[in-house]
Amino acid sequence: MPQTCHVALIGQKFMGRAHSNAWAQVGHFFDLPLLPERSLICARDAAELRDFAARWGWQRTTTDWREVAADDTIDLVDIGTPNDMHREQAVAMLEAGKHVACEKPLAGTLDDARVMAQAAKRSKRSKTFVWFNYRRCPALALAHRLVQQGKLGTIYHVRATYLQSWGGPNVPLIWRFQRKVAGSGAHGDLNAHIVDLARFLTGDEIVEVHGAVARTFIRERALPGGGGGGKIAGQKAGVRKGKSDVDDAVLFLASFRGGAVASFEATRVAAGHQNRNTIELNGSQGSLRFDFEDMNVLHYHEGFDTSATSGWTRIMCTAAEHHPYAANWWPDAHVLGYEHGFINMAADVLRVLGGKRPEVPLPDFADAYETQRVLEAALLAAKERRAVKLSEVK
């Protein structure tokens, strides 16, 4: 009989829904050493929270996250709050001896991220995880395996873009446009994902950022009509305006220790691109490319062959006998969606807490801190208009 993992979740909006669904579904699809119990949910609005808890099967609610830290029955705390809350909440949970799964970016600032990584290191009993959920798309987990198996040979190029279009001029000044809450804009939100993916897929570390551009195109936005939540639908724009002090787009170039060169581009104002998270690797033996808007597919090109029949192989990553996570889901080509990355991640978290191995490596706070250092190096490169070695960023 699997044992129980008592989970508390902080946050009940976008990620609150994605994570609640993951904890609710994971036991139906995976054989696990631990099964999650949705014990306690915390967020700021008591009335919304009661409805949310009833809908998603959370047993108890609180509007005070410190009650979560003080609750001795809770094993794992899942943090889905805005970036400025991650540090205080995660450190308190670690000091209370709990395991912590925190949303990305690890924090809004490098200082906060460092404190979190240090707290994780100090805590001997607790394990930490960061919800870089795209690692757990079967196509990207397969890409990771193929690189590990040497299918690409020496990696020459990493080309990553994360293009969204929701941040146009009519979107009000929600927390994602406020530096004191979010830390940065498209950079911490979107480049965080693709830097994590580039490190995960190559198994290599970035050692230098050669140059970067950070731009804020929309400097003033209408103040939200009510609340401070991040859900855009239903956010009424008021007449008064406030300053948007985060980047709308950040682009940068970098090198890996192993010699590969990389480009990263993140934006929230690329009209027409809704969630275009793409990454391509080119190596001495071949290439891989992925686009989240076609997330079940990985494209593979073997070698430098230029024969009449050479070209990209389109791999539908849903075959139980070949593809990561596929055996837990549906028959071939009965495709997966956004939520499955979170369910697959919940499965791996429970495997690790139950003493088993994850399907592919899980990022912990130390790992996510390395991603945060790369993000910081890019911001420094943009601000000072120069190349920045990662050894400068501690």
Ligand X SMILES: NC(=O)c1ccc[n+]([C@@H]2O[C@H](COP(=O)([O-])OP(=O)(O)OC[C@H]3O[C@@H](n4cnc5c(N)ncnc54)[C@H](O)[C@@H]3O)[C@@H](O)[C@H]2O)c1
Least gap, CB of 100 to ligand X (angstroms)? 13
Region near ligand X per CB under 6 A, out of 32-40, 76-84, 139-147, 357-365:
76-84
What spatial distance separates the first Cα and last Cα of the chain, rounded to whole Å?
Answer: 45
Compute the 3-state secondary structure of the chain and give helix, strand, coil in percent, each to the nearest 5: 35, 25, 40
Of 42, 147, 198, 368, the one binding ligand X (CB under 6 A) is 42
Region near ligand X per CB under 6 A, out of 200-208, 226-234, 244-252, 293-301:
226-234
Q: Is 317 helix (H, G, I), strand (E, B) or coil?
A: coil
Total residues found in the chain within this entry: 394
Of 40, 43, 139, 171, the one binding ligand X (CB under 6 A) is 43
Q: Given strand 286-291, what is the order of strands in its sheet?
A: 313-316, 297-302, 286-291, 276-283, 155-163, 261-267, 249-256, 206-215, 388-389
Q: What is the footprint of ligand X within residues 132-161 (CB under 6 A)?
A: 133
Q: What is the footprint of ligand X within residues 99-128 (CB under 6 A)?
A: 103-104
Angle between helices 110-122 and 83-95 (to 10 degrees): 20
Taking Cα atoms as reference points, which of 277, 318, 316, 283 lies closest to residue 301? 283
- Closer to ligand X by Cβ: residue 131 or 177: 131
118's CB contacts (< 8 A; 6+ apart) are none
Of 5, 7, 8, 10, the one binding ligand X (CB under 6 A) is 10
- Closer to ligand X by Cβ: residue 186 or 315: 186
Q: Is 101 helix (H, G, I), strand (E, B) or coil?
A: strand
| CA 184-253-281 angle, 5° bins | 110
Of 83, 178, 184, 296, the one binding ligand X (CB under 6 A) is 83
Of 131, 256, 264, 290, the one binding ligand X (CB under 6 A) is 131
Contact 381, 209 (CB under 8 A): yes
Least gap, CB of 302 to ligand X (angstroms)? 32
Region near ligand X per CB under 6 A, out of 79-87, 284-292, 293-301, 321-329:
79-87
Give the number of residues in contact with ligand X, rule: CB under 6 A: 24
81 binds ligand X (CB under 6 A): yes
85 binds ligand X (CB under 6 A): yes
- Closer to ligand X by Cβ: residue 157 or 180: 180
Q: For 279, how many CA atoms within 13 A lie in the half-sphere containing its CB?
A: 25
- Closer to ligand X by Cβ: residue 283 or 363: 363
Of 12, 123, 164, 371, the one binding ligand X (CB under 6 A) is 12
Q: Report the distance separating Cα 143 and Cα 71, nearest Å.
A: 40
**CA distances from residue 233 to 171, 236, 241, 248, 325 in whole angstroms, order as listed:** 10, 8, 19, 19, 32
Q: Report the distance separating Cα 294 and Cα 300, nearest Å.
A: 14
Least gap, CB of 194 to ligand X (angstroms)? 12
Q: Report the distance separating Cα 367 and Cα 56, nearest Å.
A: 31
Contact 326, 344 (CB under 8 A): no
**What x/- string results for residues 186 through 205 when contact with ligand X is judged by CB under 6 A?**
---x----------------
Region near ligand X per CB under 6 A, out of 39-47, 272-280, 355-363, 383-391:
39-47
Region near ligand X per CB under 6 A, out of 10-18, 137-145, 160-168, 315-323:
10-18
- Closer to ligand X by Cβ: residue 80 or 324: 80
- Closer to ligand X by Cβ: residue 143 or 194: 194
Indicate the pairing of strand 286-291 with strand 297-302.
antiparallel
- Closer to ligand X by Cβ: residue 84 or 280: 84
What DSSP string runs through 332-346? TT----HHHHHHHHH
Of 55, 122, 231, 386, the one binding ligand X (CB under 6 A) is 231
50 binds ligand X (CB under 6 A): no
Region near ligand X per CB under 6 A, out of 80-88, 115-123, 141-149, 158-166:
80-88
Q: Report the distance separating Cα 182 and Cα 192, nearest Å.
A: 13
363 binds ligand X (CB under 6 A): no
- Closer to ligand X by Cβ: residue 12 or 296: 12
Binding residues for ligand X (CB under 6 A): 10-16, 42-44, 65, 80-83, 85, 103-104, 131, 133, 189, 229-231
